[in-house]
Amino acid sequence: MTQVPLTNLIAPSFYDIHHALKEDRYTHYWLKGGRGSTKSSFISIEIILGMMRDPDANAVALRKVKENLRESVYEQLLWAIDVLGVSHLWHDSVSPMSLTYMPTGQKIIFRGADKPKKVKSSKLRRGYIKYVWYEEIDEFAPGDIRTINQTFLRGGPTFTVLYSFNPPQSQRNWVNGEVTEKRADRLVHHSTYETVPREWLGEQFIIEAEHLKKTKPAAYDHEYLGEVTGTGGEVFTNLAFREITDEEIKIFDQIRRGVDFGYGKDPFHYGVMHFDKTRRRLFIFHELQKLQLSNRKAVEHIKAENKSNRQVIADSAEPKSIAEMKECGIRIKGAKKGPDSVDYGIKFLQDLEEIIIDGERCPNTKREFYGYELDPDGNGGFKAGYPDRDNHSIDTARYALEDDMKKPKSTSKNRVVGVPAAAQIPSW
């Protein structure tokens, strides 16, 4: 192999990941960032190097749409072969599209995932698929990835799955939520053009970036820094995701519990949280969300969690379910709803200093709060009212905190001129 200093090919921000890949520390590598961050260049170099080190390693590169393969991952991997000075060791083919390491017969195959269930591996001369590269992972659906990984992640001792993307603007997009999840076998990395040598990008790239920074800073933050700037329709901007420890929970003394009933299309949701009134922080640390959960099974769970049988506040639209739970010994009451209770409750939650959610204990709560956005109206604005979907944990929190809201009476002296009563934030 021609000796090429990797420092001439890999930006400094990727040095640590290079060592992690070389030592097989993780299975899943989520590489996100803005334009010019060189994440795709880095991945292509690592796949070529990794295959040339490991004679049993093969690779597959994927795009959601098959037609995009040649102009993206295929050309990117050819570039890596060229800059590493090993073109004489590789054979490239367009029909079928593949790259072959000639000394051993190892292959890089290319697949479009328009129909994920039909994505299949090829017959390999030797070894197994060690490297799986999803370029523009945000174009895929989570179910696509599970199906494809089940196809390729078998038959070998170690695997390296690489996901590259520019974060979508909307926090509702599944991939922005996915990278906040913690897994022992996962590394998440963020890179920008600012950590790349200027000469690699060229002066015009820098000029364009700086111009956008001056004229449209929000667009610059999203496009060049890879930040999730939002669409403007995000409902909750006061969220924090972290572990809430057993030690913290032991000293929580303002526990609130709520229930949002559901069965078939909508799930039953039970949530437990601590409300720090002084610091105006809500800690959500326990959930049960399940479809087709009987009231009997729900009662069993609530009794096991709520051993002291503290008050539970539930959706009052289900009086029969509330009565059944009462008969089983649960201290439960229906929430006091009104014509503006949804708006009022959401604005109460929005006005909190922080909503801290333990994503490990409460994955559905995290997903719903993080992804809750207003619906676009098609004209650059947003529809009035809050969407009534994927909000079971949010409704549960509203019910649980009902007694803490202390809604003022709707009189003229409580209103601000020109502002609807439902849109006002209570004073504290």
Query: Is 282 within 8 Å of 397 (Cβ atoms)?
Result: yes
C-alpha dihedral, 20 to 25 to 27 to 32, nearest 10°: -30
Active-site option among 136, 223, 234, 373: 136
Q: In what order do the strands lie in the sheet with 255-260?
A: 239-241, 354-357, 281-290, 268-276, 255-260, 312-314, 332-334
Peptide bond into 96 cis (omega under 30): yes
Largest Cα separation within the chain, whole Å, is: 84
* Site of tokens 């809201």: 405
Is residue 245 classed as helix, strand or coil in its secondary structure?
Answer: coil
Give the integer Cα–Cα distance in Å for 302 and 139. 39
223 catalytic? Reply is: no
Torsion sign over Cα 13, 19, 22, 28: negative
* Site of tokens 């390491």: 101
Beta-bridge mates of residue 192:
none
Give the integer Cα–Cα distance in Å for 42 and 251. 47
Give the integer Cα–Cα distance in Å for 133 and 22. 16
CB < 8 Å & 24+ apart, contacts of 89-98: 89/1, 89/52, 94/70, 97/69, 97/70, 98/122
* Site of tokens 């949280």: 273
Give the integer Cα–Cα distance in Å for 330 and 302. 8
Nearest CA among 179, 184, 106, 117 for reference residue 144 = 117
Give the integer Cα–Cα distance in Å for 141 and 396. 28
- Is 407 buried (19+), middle (13-18) or exposed (0-12) by CB count in 10 A? middle
Give the integer Cα–Cα distance in Å for 351 and 281. 10
Nearest CA among 121, 94, 108, 136 for reference residue 49 = 108
Give the integer Cα–Cα distance in Å for 61 and 48. 12
* Site of tokens 């906040």: 180
User: Which positions are annotated as active-site residues?
Assistant: 136
